[in-house]
Structure 1
Amino acid sequence: MSIEPNLFGGASLVRRWGRIGTRGKERVVLFKNERHAIECFLVLARQKRARGYRPRPRSDL
């Protein structure tokens, strides 16, 4: 998941998932401001962590 600016002055919550080695899927949810996108991000992250998911290690280090 990531929060990215959009062309309309708001923010987008981008969710990507799929099996390793496949193209996967993506869902983009638009928000009027970044605060609402962050609130949704935190709720979803909490739900995923409760199910055993962990953040992916950063590969740019």
Structure 2
Amino acid sequence: MDSDPIHLTRCDPAQNLARFYRLELAGDLFGGVQLLRQWGRLGSAGRIGRTWFASAEAAQASRDDWLRRKRARGYREGQKI
């Protein structure tokens, strides 16, 4: 189960703010699904977090929750990193 990554950015030059957030679902070798999250300053490699789920539905629900939270903080779909 692979999905297209979701790329979010949040930029505000007045606050010297240039950040990205990336969400992606990927299958693992054991039949589960992992949610990959990558975040950091634009231009950097950033940090990576992985969470494993037993079902695709649970992973998608978690991804949607992260997406909702990031949009509430001002992130918008933007350029790929």
What TM-score do you get using the length of structure 2 for normalisation? 0.66
Which consecutive unaligned segments of at least 5 residues does structure 1 have? none
Deviation at 1:22, TM superposition (A): 2.0
Deviation at 1:56, TM superposition (A): 2.8
Root mean square deviation, CA, Å = 1.6
| Aligned ranges 1:26-37 → 2 under 5 Å | 26-37=48-59
Deviations 1:11-35 (A, max 9, x none): 0000001122222110000000110
Deviation at 1:8, TM superposition (A): 1.2
Deviations 1:1-57 (A, max 9, x none): 000101110100000011222221100000001100000011110011011001234
Q: How many residues align?
A: 59
Q: 1:50 is aligned with what amino acid?
A: A
Aligned to 1:53: 75
What TM-score do you get using the length of structure 1 for normalisation? 0.84
Residue 25 of structure 2 corresponds to residue 3 of structure 1? yes
Task: Give the structure, 1 or 2, with the largest relative contact order (CA under 8 Å, sep 6 or more).
Answer: 2
